[in-house]
Structure 1
Amino acid sequence: MKFNSKIQLSFMMFLEFFIWGAWFVTLGTFLGTNLQAKDSEISLAFSTQSFGAIIAPFIIGIIADRYFNAEKILGIIHVIGGVLMFWLYQTSDFSMFFPILLAYMILFMPTLALVNSISFNQMSNPEKEFSVIRVWGTVGWIAAGILISFLGWDSQEGLSQGLLKNTLLMASITSIVLGFFSFSLPKTPPKGKLSGEFEVSKALGLDALSLLKHRNFAIFFISSILICIPLAFYYQNTSPFLTEIGLSNSTGKMAFGQVSEVLFMLLLPVFFSKFGVKKTLIVAMLAWAIRYFLFAFGDVDSGVWMLLLGIALHGICYDFFFVSGQIYTDSHAGEKYKSSAQGMITLATYGVGMLIGFWIAGLISENYADMAGNHDWKSIWLIPSGISVLVLLFFISLFKEEKNISPN
């Protein structure tokens, strides 16, 4: 891959995940403090990510794999997204906030598959090259979290002044910047232009579902859905949890998870090639179970190390499952379905799995909350820990090791 392409793709990843990390991490806290939203409403807001992810494969299947260059679609989406995010910044009522957020996430979630598709298109060996590019997305997420805490938007004083809404403005500006930058990215033309008679299944990218005929891929697909149920607890509950128990600079400390993500992203190619896809995914799911167990028994005094270790495990949880899964998916997808296959796995993880997870997390959070809004966090966190163990046992029993994973 050319050096200029590496720089462009790295900056693309940085901005992509800076935008997401700028507002998503603190969304639960923002909704509770600025808009006085209930746990069920917060759960509904987070579910917009899942609705977007479910729709994403259809957008990618229709457009990116069939008709228009992926980098142009990415640019248009982010410019429109920046406008919607600015609208959210000006909104002070949840009933108005929710539909705008839903529209934004329907646009944003396909970009996760698009940036992967644009990157993979420039690589001859994604197994070794992708992690070096993708790590800059993690750096972007870290930068957003550290900046929020540095500016004091998530401090008790900042929360009382309603400063957390500035995260939406920051995301809006960055989204527009990425939108215009995207038009300068390496050209990524559609690989699977339709020929002959129009077929709805091909136009929607549903032909990528043929990958599920492969038994191992089907087990991986199902496991991806199931493991994202406990993952939803992390995204939805961690910021309110740390804020409620009184951990200072919680957003900055949550960025430790992305710092570890950088480390394990760089270690991933070595681990992946030495131990194979099955062991890599097993380590990820085991780390999930341990993380929630640490959250259940940690506190801001003598148990603060458990909280920080649980946050730091995010690197293994995310890299060893999601990035490995993206590489594994790419290895099974042919040239014709690279974008739609990435969109399909986005549907499984951020879509179906996390939609179920956000719904369950919302119900459990309300069930373990008292009249004053305080939560029994120990009971809440032990539930996703147990779910992670069950998914791990399912995967270990049914997934067969594959050797020589390499892109098609």
Structure 2
Amino acid sequence: MQTTLKAKLSVFMFLQYFIWGSWYASMAGYLIKGLNFTGPQIGAAYGALAIASIISPFIVGLIADRFFASEKLLSILGLIGGIVLCIIPQCGSFSSFYPTLLLYCILFAPTLALGNSLSLTHLANSKTDFPRVKLWSAVGWIAGGVTISLLKAEESSLQFYLAGGISIVFGLFALALPHTPPTKTGANVSVKELLGLDALALLKKPSFAIFMGCMFLICIPLYFYFVLMLTYLLEIGWTNPAAKMTLAQVSDIIFLFLLPIMLLKLGYKKTISIGILAWMARYFLLAGSVEGGGLSAPMIFAAIFLHGVCYDFLFIAGQLYVDDEATPRMRGACQGFIALVLWGVGAYVGTLVAGNVLEMHVITDALGNKTHDWSQIWLTPAWLATGVLAIFLLFFRDPLKKPAHADDLITGRKEENLEIP
């Protein structure tokens, strides 16, 4: 039974992230080349998922946990989401595209938490089995990006049709998952509980307040990569950029295994500092690649491969730090709060800033063709990350106790919240 269950959950994770990986990274190419959207419009489009991640706890907490079996709601969300994805290519203006994309994101975001919760509920040994199942999410994301490149769809609406078709398959497949009835039928759930605002009490600790402030601030440079990277690669003439960008997910898998060792050897401050430093290095590499000559390609690949350090050493380590600082009673609230800051408010601000910076550095030649001053664009998040690192190093203090939950990376606890691979 468990073997069959694990196979089903692996397929589920693969399909879920194939959908995400087949449009999220490549959407900017279609928006700027196919629809001629401005920088702020592109930033706003990427911010739709951030808004959805803020709304998602209400859908999960007020609807899924109280009224619907998880597998049935996953099926409904997948099927309707597939239809909406196929409608998106019909939206040629920002006024129609944006609300349609936002609707889809609101349908997709809850599937992440629901899928993880369902998996952890039914796996007999989540400590060892969940990571093996969740590994297929990275494989799905990679497969989505590679497929987009094989179809030459980075600048085409075909990416949404592909994602929509897979979403319908995902919705149908969800019905094969084990029955998971609602867990809080008849229970009263407060807005503070859903958003994790009970964790605000921890902000009275100076180091925790500095940590949360730095996590919010680093989201601003962070989203330059997700919003602008594919556009940069297309503009400098790279072929199959969506496939090449999946090197980031390979890196993520590698460094996730190294993170527990780093936490135990170095503690939170040094490990998280390395994560912020990696973001600095990523953007300085990209800025240098603009005029890098023969070194441009190696610098870009290095920037992509740094993703594992950027993400795992910063955000996964950060989630574990929050977990160590929280009391057992506040653990859920604290994880909800950091998710709200990182993938909700922080992501929304970061995507908007990235889009506006892109627009500020448009270059129009004599024939009216538009390019961008990519050196200045990439230097903006590089210096922002430098400032965040300085603040973190000066004011954050490591907790006296050693990291107690480094091995939680093996349990899959980090997967309880919305994350960007």
Which TM-score bucket, shorter chain as reference?
0.7 to 0.9
Q: Please report the RMSD computed on the Cα atoms of aligned residues, expressed in angstroms.
A: 3.1
The TM-score with structure 1 as length reference comes to: 0.85
Deviation (angstroms), 1:94: 3.1
Conservation of the 8 A alpha-carbon contact between 1:53 and 1:350: yes
Gaps of 5+ in 1: none
Q: Tell me, in whole angstroms, the C-alpha distance in 2 between the residues paired with 1:66 and 1:335.
A: 21
Conservation of the 8 A alpha-carbon contact between 1:220 and 1:399: no
Conservation of the 8 A alpha-carbon contact between 1:139 and 1:262: no
Q: Could you tell me which of 343, 352, 364 is aligned with 1:350? A: 343
SS, match of residue 370 in structure 2: coil
Q: Tell me, in whole angstroms, the C-alpha distance in 1 between the residues paired with 2:127 and 2:215.
A: 19
SS, match of residue 374 in structure 1: strand
- Answering whether residue 390 of structure 2 is matched by residue 393 of structure 1, we say yes
- Answering whether residue 215 of structure 2 is matched by residue 224 of structure 1, we say yes
Conservation of the 8 A alpha-carbon contact between 1:211 and 1:217: no
Deviation (angstroms), 1:283: 2.5
Count of residue correspondences: 395
Deviation (angstroms), 1:117: 2.6
Deviation (angstroms), 1:277: 4.6
Residue in structure 2 matched with residue 56 of structure 1 by the alignment: 56
Deviation (angstroms), 1:125: 7.6
Residues 295 and 144 (structure 1), Cα distance of their counterparts in 2 relative to 1, 3 Å cut = same
In the alignment, residue 396 of structure 2 is paired with which amino acid? L
Deviation (angstroms), 1:296: 0.5
- Answering whether residue 310 of structure 2 is matched by residue 317 of structure 1, we say yes
Residues 395 and 272 (structure 1), Cα distance of their counterparts in 2 relative to 1, 3 Å cut = same
Mean CA deviation greater in 212-221 or 78-87: 212-221
Aligned residue runs from structure 1 range 3-18, under 5 A: 3-18=3-18
Q: Tell me, in whole angstroms, the C-alpha distance in 1 between the residues paired with 2:149 and 2:264.
A: 37
Aligned residue runs from structure 1 range 4-403, under 5 A: 4-122=4-122, 130-154=130-154, 159=155, 164-195=156-187, 198=188, 200-201=190-191, 205-206=194-195, 208-214=196-202, 215=205, 219-272=210-263, 275-299=266-290, 301-302=293-294, 303-325=296-318, 332=326, 338=332, 343-371=336-364, 372-396=369-393, 397-401=395-399, 402-403=402-403
Residues 12 and 336 (structure 1), Cα distance of their counterparts in 2 relative to 1, 3 Å cut = farther
Residues 28 and 127 (structure 1), Cα distance of their counterparts in 2 relative to 1, 3 Å cut = same
Q: Tell me, in whole angstroms, the C-alpha distance in 2 between the residues paired with 1:350 and 1:224.
A: 10
Residues 189 and 212 (structure 1), Cα distance of their counterparts in 2 relative to 1, 3 Å cut = farther
Residues 341 and 67 (structure 1), Cα distance of their counterparts in 2 relative to 1, 3 Å cut = farther
Q: Tell me, in whole angstroms, the C-alpha distance in 1 between the residues paired with 2:223 and 2:75.
A: 28
Conservation of the 8 A alpha-carbon contact between 1:113 and 1:342: no
Q: Tell me, in whole angstroms, the C-alpha distance in 2 between the residues paired with 1:231 and 1:364.
A: 13
Mean CA deviation greater in 177-186 or 140-149: 177-186
Conservation of the 8 A alpha-carbon contact between 1:289 and 1:385: yes
SS, match of residue 23 in structure 1: coil
In the alignment, residue 375 of structure 1 is paired with which amino acid? H
SS, match of residue 205 in structure 1: helix
Gaps of 5+ in 2: 414-421
In the alignment, residue 239 of structure 2 is paired with which amino acid? S
SS, match of residue 101 in structure 1: helix
Conservation of the 8 A alpha-carbon contact between 1:131 and 1:269: no
Deviation (angstroms), 1:132: 3.4
Conservation of the 8 A alpha-carbon contact between 1:132 and 1:266: no
Deviation (angstroms), 1:12: 2.3
Q: Tell me, in whole angstroms, the C-alpha distance in 2 between the residues paired with 1:393 and 1:186.
A: 49
SS, match of residue 153 in structure 2: coil
Conservation of the 8 A alpha-carbon contact between 1:296 and 1:377: yes
Deviation (angstroms), 1:13: 2.1
Deviation (angstroms), 1:218: 5.2
Q: Tell me, in whole angstroms, the C-alpha distance in 1 between the residues paired with 2:319 and 2:118.
A: 13
Mean CA deviation greater in 11-20 or 66-75: 66-75
Q: Tell me, in whole angstroms, the C-alpha distance in 2 between the residues paired with 1:210 and 1:17.
A: 31
Deviation (angstroms), 1:220: 4.5
Deviation (angstroms), 1:86: 0.8
Mean CA deviation greater in 279-288 or 170-179: 279-288
Q: Tell me, in whole angstroms, the C-alpha distance in 1 between the residues paired with 2:2 and 2:133.
A: 13
Conservation of the 8 A alpha-carbon contact between 1:110 and 1:343: no
Deviation (angstroms), 1:104: 0.8
Conservation of the 8 A alpha-carbon contact between 1:286 and 1:392: yes
Conservation of the 8 A alpha-carbon contact between 1:47 and 1:359: yes
Q: Percent identity?
A: 39
Q: Tell me, in whole angstroms, the C-alpha distance in 1 between the residues paired with 2:274 and 2:232.
A: 25
Deviation (angstroms), 1:224: 3.1
In the alignment, residue 93 of structure 1 is paired with which amino acid? S
Structure 1, residues 190-210: CA drift from partner, whole Å, max 9, x if none?
445554xx56436x624x322
Conservation of the 8 A alpha-carbon contact between 1:42 and 1:362: yes
Residues 130 and 221 (structure 1), Cα distance of their counterparts in 2 relative to 1, 3 Å cut = farther
Residues 272 and 123 (structure 1), Cα distance of their counterparts in 2 relative to 1, 3 Å cut = farther
In the alignment, residue 105 of structure 2 is paired with which amino acid? M
Deviation (angstroms), 1:6: 3.1
Mean CA deviation greater in 288-297 or 310-319: 310-319
